[in-house]
Chains A and B, each alone.
Chain A
Amino acid sequence: ETGVTQSPTHLIKTRGQQVTLRCSSQSGHNTVSWYQQALGQGPQFIFQYYREEENGRGNFPPRFSGLQFPNYSSELNVNALELDDSALYLCASSLSAGGSLDTQYFGPGTRLTVL
């Protein structure tokens, strides 16, 4: 176990709805990254937060947004859900914004299904 937790484990939503996924980082980790992993694919980088500020973003539209809180928890919000948003969403925490310098610890993921 990595010490990173995510909730919920599974979630079913309908197209057009909004969803919030949650992640609890390892204690002391000030950086969290979110990834989308479609079935049979590698994870794709959504964005990273460092000390509660966005610190880099992948090729995802603005309806994907996030928050990071001082207590090492974070959220991924997705508005106006589309069928293609169905995926496993992973968060990963690390000790610093230079993620290369520190190991990223992944959570078990949230499986989102959009109908």
Chain B
Amino acid sequence: AQTVTQSQPEMSVQEAETVTLSCTYDTSESDYYLFWYKQPPSRQMILVIRQEAYKQQNATENRFSVNFQKAAKSFSLKISDSQLGDAAMYFCAVDDKIIFGKGTRLHILP
């Protein structure tokens, strides 16, 4: 069975600073995909970034990047130059049926 663990229920970061959200997972699949989703207070879940496990290069999308450690089954999200609009619940997820972690609520401090 696939599992996803997000060990930080809440985090806070000053505006313009950098923050890293942690995620570990477990899967028996040899090839899989990993995702970070953002769910703002309006509730609509949107994809932030995704990583294909067979690719060694870490994915980046503008201010968002991941640190993917396949052997350690770790998939952290780094947000650079944090903005007020980044405040949301962030969910780490694995594979196509999308197994989600419990989320990290990120607060941006002005």
Which residues of chain A come closer than 8 Å to B93, judged between CB atoms? 42
Please tell me if the beta carbons of A107 and B98 are within 8 angstroms of each other in the complex: no
Q: Does B11 contact A (CB under 8 A)?
A: no
Interface centre among A41, A43, A44, A88 (most CB of B within 10 A): A43
Q: A48's closest neighbor in chain B, by CB?
A: B97
Please tell me if the beta carbons of B44 and A42 are within 8 angstroms of each other in the complex: no
Q: For chain B, give the interface size range.
A: 20 to 34
Which residues of chain A come closer than 8 Å to B42, judged between CB atoms? 108
Mark each residue of chain B from 79 to 110: 1 if its CB lies under 8 Å from any CB of chain A, else 0. 00000000000010101111111110000000
Question: For the complex, would chain B's binding face be called helix, strand, loop or mixed by DSSP majority?
Answer: loop
CA distance A88 to B44 in the complex (A): 11
The one of A42, A88, A99, A103 in contact with B97, judged by C-beta atoms closer than 8 angstroms, is: A99
A33 to chain B, nearest CB (A): 7
Q: B91's closest neighbor in chain A, by CB?
A: A42
A62 to chain B, nearest CB (A): 18
- A42 and B45 in contact, given A100-B32, A100-B96 (Cβ under 8 angstroms): no
Which residues of chain B come closer than 8 Å to A107, judged between CB atoms? 44
Q: Report which B residues bind A (CB closer than 8 A).
A: 4, 32-33, 37, 42-47, 50, 91, 93, 95-103
- A–B Cβ pairs within 8 angstroms, 10 of them: A1-B44, A35-B98, A35-B100, A40-B102, A43-B100, A45-B99, A99-B96, A103-B50, A108-B44, A109-B44
